[in-house]
Chain A
Amino acid sequence: MRFGSTKNSGRRAFLRKAGGGILGLPLLEFTHGLSWAQDAVNKRFVTVFSHGGTLSPRGKEYLVDQWNDKASIADRWHPTGLGANFTVGEIQKPVERFQKKMLFVSGVDNKTAIADADYNGDHNFNNVMCLTCADTTGSKENVTALGPSIDAVIAKRLAARQPVRFESIHLMIEGHQYGSPFFRASQQIARGESSPVSAFDRIFAGVTADMSTGPDPAEVRENALRRHVLNGTMEEFKTLRAQVSAHDRQVLDAHFDHLTALSSEIQTLAAGTTAQCVPPTGVRGGEGNVVGSAHAKIIVAALRCGLTNVANLEIADILAPWAPSGLQVDSGYGIGHSLGHLQRDVGQGTDHERRWIIEMVENRQWRMSVMGEILEGLDDPAFSEGGRTILDNSIVYYTSEFGSPEHHSSYEVPTLVFGSAGGKLKQGQHITYNKHRTAEPLARQHESDASYHNLYTTFLQALGENDGHFGNDRAKFKGPLSELFA
C-alpha cells in the first residue's frame, strides 16, 4: 500500500514562512530537529489496543480445570513452535507476511490485575491496569489508574529528544468497551478521536505536499487568532487557579497542561509555517472497517511526516459484520464483549462452536489486518532511515486487557511486537515465559514470572531509556525481559 504519489517526500517535512520562501533547513529538519540518541535514528512507538481479549484457552489454571468438561479448547492466538522456528497463530494470518519482523511473546501476565482486580480479572480494572501497571482508585466503571500508561511515558520521553508537533496521537474505532487503558497521567484518561475526518483535519493542518503556492492567508490569520485565544484562555486559568480548592486546582492544572500542548502546536502554525509532507488521501468515516483503514493511513502518514513519535490505535470490542462470514452467532447483548464470553458456552464440537469460532477469528483477524496496514506503511523501504525502515526503528505493540476473554484472564495476555527499535529487540522469534510451555509447547498449565511491568521496562530500555522498572510493585521480578533484547 502506498499513500500518495510523491512518496519520497513523505517524511521530508519542510518549514516555510508565510511568504512562501522555503527556509534553508536540512531536509529532515522538521522531523529530526535535534540530535538525541546515541544511534541517532528516530524511534517511534505504536500501540494497537484490541479490547476484549483474544481466542485462547490459556487462562487461570484453576478455572480451566473447573470447566474442563465444557470449555472450548480453541486456541487461535498462539503460534506453534518456539524461537525462530514458529508458525503464527490463525489470528495473526493477516500479518504473517511480517513474521520476520515479529516478536511473539507469550506467557506475559498482568500481575497488577491478578493481584488487585475483581476475580483476578475484570474488564474495568484490567483496562486501567494493562498499560499502566499502576494501582487504582475508584471501583467498577469509575476506576482509574494512579499512573500514566506506557505510551504516555514514551511519548514524553521521545518528544524531549525528537521534537514533534504532537507528543502523541490517539485514534479509536468505536464500539463497546469498559473504560480506557490509556492514561496521560494519574487519573487522567486519554480518549481517542473516532472521526478520521476530524483527526485528519487536526493532525495535517498546515501540512501539504505542494509547496508551489504560499500558505492560505485565511489560515495564517486563523492561526494568529488561535494563538491569541489560547494565550488569553490560559491567563484565565491562571487567575482562577488561585481561587479554588486544592482538589479543583489539580483539575484546572490538567486542563491547563492540555492548553499548553495545544499552544505549543499552534506556535508552529501561527508563525506562518507550513510543513511539506504527503497527507493521506481518501480519508472518510463510515463503519468500523472504513474507519480502521482511515486511521491506519493517518497513523502511517503522521509518523512518516514526523508529526508525532507515538500513535495509539484503540479498537473497541466491536463486532465485525464486514468480515467474510459476517455475524454468525447470537452474542446476546449484541456487542463484542459477549462474543468473547461465549467461548465457554458454545460447547465442543457443536455447530454453535464452529460458527462462533469463525466469527471470533474473523473479528480478530480484521483487527490484525488494520494493524497490518500500519505495518505495511511503516515498512516501506522508500522511507528508510539509517538503512532501516521506520518499522525497523520502531516498536509496534499489540495487546488487550485479557488473554482468554471468557475467563477474564489476566494471565498470558496477548503480546505481539513488531519492529526492533533500531536493532534493539529480537525479530522473527516466538519467546515464551510460560515455564510449562518451554518443555511442552501445547501445555495448558501456566506459570510465569513475567509481567507487563517487565515488558514495558524492556520497551523503555530498547528505546534508549535507562529505567529499571515500570509501574507499581506487583511484578515478581523487576527489570526488563532480557531475552527479548537482540
Chain B
Amino acid sequence: MKASLSLLSGLLGPLVFAGCVGGLVVNDGNGDSPGSPNGTTDGAPGPEGTTGPGGSEPPPIEEQPKLACDEGLPQASPSLLRRLAPREYLNSVSDLLAMDFVAPLDDTETVYTTELAVRQFDEATRLLETQVLDAPSVAPCDILGPTDRSCVESFIASFGERAFRRTVSEEEKTALLSAYDEARTELDHAAASLALLRIMLQSPQFLYRVEIGEEDPSLPPGMRKLTGYERATRLSYFFLGTTPDQELLDAARSGELDDAAGVRAEANRLLTSTTVREPFREVVSEWLQLDGATVLPSLEDTPKDVAAVGQELTQGLRSAMRNDVLTFAERVTFDEQGTFEALLTDTHAFVTPELADLYGASGEGWIDVGAERPGILTRAAWLTLTGSQKHQSPIRRGAFLIREFLCQPLSDPPATVDNTPVDPSTDSTADAVTIRQITEERTTGDQCQGCHKRINGLGFAFEHFDTLGRWHDTEQGAPVDAATSITGTDVDGPVSGAADFMNQMANSAVAKSCFGERFFRSALGRTLGELDDCSRETVMQKFSETGNIQELLLDIASSDAFLYMNGAAPAAQEEGQ
C-alpha cells in the first residue's frame, strides 16, 4: 500500500472524531467574564513582586509562509532554546569527566529552567573534587601540578570545546581565564582550576543546546544552516543521548557535517554504537508510558489487588516486564529484522522464569511466546499498565491506542461520567457478566458511543489478556470475546483478536507515521510544525514503504528539519546592532 500520509493525517482525524474531540460541557454562565478565554490581563506587565500579571508571554517566533515541497528549498519550524534533559545532562557530565556521574535533577518539562533545577546544577558540580581534573581526557596537561598558566589556557580550549560542543572563541577564553585569575586571588591553583571546570559545567553553553546557525543566501527567509558543531550536537543527543564524542567534534571541525551525506555517514557510525540503544529504549518507554503519564502511575507503582488477580505483582516481576518489552524493541530494531512490522508481529520475549510462567510458557532469556502473543502490545508491561487493579480495561487500552498508537485526538471524558473501573463482582447484570459486556452496557447510548465506539472497538481486541497480561478464555464462566472491528484507520475491518489486530496494524501507514513522528519529535526536541511538513512527509513516506526503523532514524537525521533552523537570528542582528 502506498498511502499519502498527509492525506491520511488530514482526513482521518476530523472525519472519525467528530464529536469526540473538544469539551462536552459548556460554560454555565456563572463566570463573570465568559468571553475571551485566556485573554488579556488588566494589569500592565510588571516585574516580580507586583500583583499584576508579572510578565508577559515571550515574543512569539513568527513562522514564515510554507513553500511548496517541490521547490526543494529547506524549511523547518522554529525551535526554542533547548535545555539538556536530566538524563542528557548526567550522560554528558559522565562522558566529559570519564566517570559515572549521578545527581538529583528536577525533571519539570518547562521552557524556563526552575529555581530548583538551577540550584541542583550548582549542587551537582559541588560533588566534583579536584581529582576529576586528573583524567587525561579532562585536561591535556598536568593541571594539578605546579601552577602553569599555559596549561590552564590549554584546558579551557580543549575541555571547553567538548563541553560547549564547539570551538571556544577568543573572547570566551579570555573571560574564562579572567574567572580563573579572579578565583586565584582567594584559592590555590587546583581549586581555581576546579572552579573553571564548574563554571563550564554551569555555563549556558553547556546546559542549553545553543543554536545560532549561519547565514546562507540560498535559503528561504528566516532559515539558517546549522553549523557543523550544531549538527554534531543534534546527532549525538538524538542517537546517543549525550555530548558529541571526539570523532563527531573532529567531523564538525573538518567540515564533514556541512552536507547531508556527511551527516548521514556520521549517523551511520553512531548507529553501530551500543550506546544508541539507551535513547531508543527511552523513546519506547515514553511511548508505552512505562514511567507513568497524566493519569497512569508507572509500571513500578501501578497497583494490583492481589486477592483479585491471584498473585502478587512483585517488583521483580515488574522489572522483568519492563526489561522484556524494551529489550524486545531493541532486539527487533538493532539485531533482527529492524522493521515496524516485526515490532508488531515478532513472537519472541525476553523473560525471567516468573514472567515466562505469566506468559504460560517456561524458560529464561529469549523464548517464543506463540502466535497468540505477537508484538509489543501483547507483552505484560503494556497490558499491566492499562489494566485496573483487578481486571483488564478495554477502555484504557482503546484510549491509549487512539492517542499513542495512532496519534489521533481524543477528548478527556466529561467530568460527569462514571469512570470507576469495571468490576463484575459489583457491576454484573443479568445480561452482562464479562468485562466486555459490562463495558458495553455502561457505554451504550449515543453520547457515549461518539467516542466509545472506537475506544471499545480497539480495546476489545485485547480481551483475552487480563490485568497482568495473562491469557484467559473465560470470565465469570462466560467465554471471552475478543472479536471486534478496527475503525478510523487505514486498515479498518474486523479482527478476531489481538494477534489479528497486530498483524493488521503492522501494515498501517497511520500507525507507522505515529511511531515515526515520535522519533522525529525526539530528534528535534519539539512538536513538528507546518514548516516541517516537507521533511515529515518525505521521511514518513519512505518509512511507510520500508518500515525499516534504523533507516527511519537515518532519514530523520538527514532531513532538512534536522539540518537547518528557523527564526533564531542573533538578537544583536534583530536590534540592528
Spell out A's residues near B (CB within 8 Å): 60, 62-63, 66-67, 111, 114-116, 118-121, 134-137, 141, 144, 146-148, 152-153, 156-157, 160, 170, 176, 178, 180, 184-193, 195, 198, 202, 221-222, 224-226, 228-233, 235-237, 239-252, 254-255, 258-259, 261-262, 330, 332-335, 337-338, 341-342, 344-345, 352, 406-408, 411, 456-457, 460, 467, 469-476
B70: Cβ under 8 A from any A Cβ: no
Cβ–Cβ < 8 Å partners of A224 in chain B:
186-187
Q: A116-B38, A245-B569, A333-B296 are in contact. List 4 more A-B contacts (CB 8 A).
A: A246-B574, A251-B112, A334-B303, A469-B51
What's the least CB distance linking B401 to chain A, in Å? 18
Interface residues of B in 377-428 (CB under 8 A from A): 388-390, 414-416, 418-421, 423, 426
> CA of A176 to CA of B303 in the docked complex: distance in angstroms?
14
Quick one: which of A185, A226, A345 has the most chain B CB within 10 A? A185
- Whether A184 pairs with B568 at a CB distance below 8 angstroms is no
What's the least CB distance linking B239 to chain A, in Å? 25
- Whether A230 pairs with B122 at a CB distance below 8 angstroms is yes
- Whether A228 pairs with B49 at a CB distance below 8 angstroms is no
> CA of A472 to CA of B51 in the docked complex: distance in angstroms?
9
CB nearest neighbor in A for B204: A240
Q: List 6 A-B contacts (CB under 8 A).
A: A148-B48, A187-B110, A221-B191, A229-B195, A232-B182, A251-B112
Cβ–Cβ < 8 Å partners of B117 in chain A:
191
- Whether B32 pairs with A475 at a CB distance below 8 angstroms is yes
Cβ–Cβ < 8 Å partners of B59 in chain A:
246-247
Contact pick for B571, options A118, A157, A246, A258, CB 8 Å: A246
| Size class of the B contact interface (CB-based, 8 Å) | 35 or more
B151: Cβ under 8 A from any A Cβ: no
B14: Cβ under 8 A from any A Cβ: no
CB nearest neighbor in B for A332: B421
- Whether A254 pairs with B113 at a CB distance below 8 angstroms is yes
**Contact A187 to B41, CB < 8 A, known contacts A255-B118, A334-B303:** no
Cβ–Cβ < 8 Å partners of B51 in chain A:
153, 456-457, 460, 467, 469-471
Spell out B's residues near A (CB within 8 Å): 23, 25, 27-28, 30-34, 37-43, 45, 48-61, 80-81, 104, 106, 108, 110-119, 122-123, 125-126, 171-172, 175-176, 179, 182-183, 186-187, 191-192, 194-196, 198-199, 202-205, 207-208, 210, 212, 292, 294-297, 301-303, 305, 388-390, 414-416, 418-421, 423, 426, 567-572, 574
Cβ–Cβ < 8 Å partners of B574 in chain A:
245-246
> CA of A249 to CA of B81 in the docked complex: distance in angstroms?
9
- Whether B126 pairs with A337 at a CB distance below 8 angstroms is no
**Contact A332 to B48, CB < 8 A, known contacts A147-B54, A188-B112, A243-B571:** no
What's the least CB distance linking B360 to chain A, in Å? 26
- Whether A342 pairs with B41 at a CB distance below 8 angstroms is no
- Whether B57 pairs with A137 at a CB distance below 8 angstroms is yes
CB nearest neighbor in B for A478: B42
- Whether B104 pairs with A146 at a CB distance below 8 angstroms is no
What's the least CB distance linking A173 to chain B, in Å? 15
What's the least CB distance linking A236 to chain B, in Å? 4
Quick one: which of B28, B60, B116, B182 has the most chain A CB within 10 A? B116
- Whether B123 pairs with A202 at a CB distance below 8 angstroms is yes
Cβ–Cβ < 8 Å partners of B305 in chain A:
330
- Whether B40 pairs with A352 at a CB distance below 8 angstroms is no
CB nearest neighbor in A for B191: A225
CB nearest neighbor in A for B396: A333
- Whether A66 pairs with B31 at a CB distance below 8 angstroms is no
Contact pick for A235, options B27, B175, B295, CB 8 Å: B175
> CA of A248 to CA of B111 in the docked complex: distance in angstroms?
9
Cβ–Cβ < 8 Å partners of A251 in chain B:
58, 80-81, 111-113, 208
Contact pick for B203, options A67, A176, A236, CB 8 Å: A236
> CA of A473 to CA of B38 in the docked complex: distance in angstroms?
11
> CA of A235 to CA of B482 in the docked complex: distance in angstroms?
64
Cβ–Cβ < 8 Å partners of B42 in chain A:
469, 472-473
> CA of A239 to CA of B160 in the docked complex: distance in angstroms?
15
**Contact A115 to B32, CB < 8 A, known contacts A262-B122, A333-B295:** yes
What's the least CB distance linking A162 to chain B, in Å? 14
> CA of A255 to CA of B34 in the docked complex: distance in angstroms?
35
CB nearest neighbor in B for A460: B51
> CA of A230 to CA of B125 in the docked complex: distance in angstroms?
11
- Whether A134 pairs with B41 at a CB distance below 8 angstroms is yes
**Contact A115 to B34, CB < 8 A, known contacts A186-B57, A233-B199, A246-B571:** yes
> CA of A475 to CA of B171 in the docked complex: distance in angstroms?
52
Cβ–Cβ < 8 Å partners of B80 in chain A:
247-248, 251
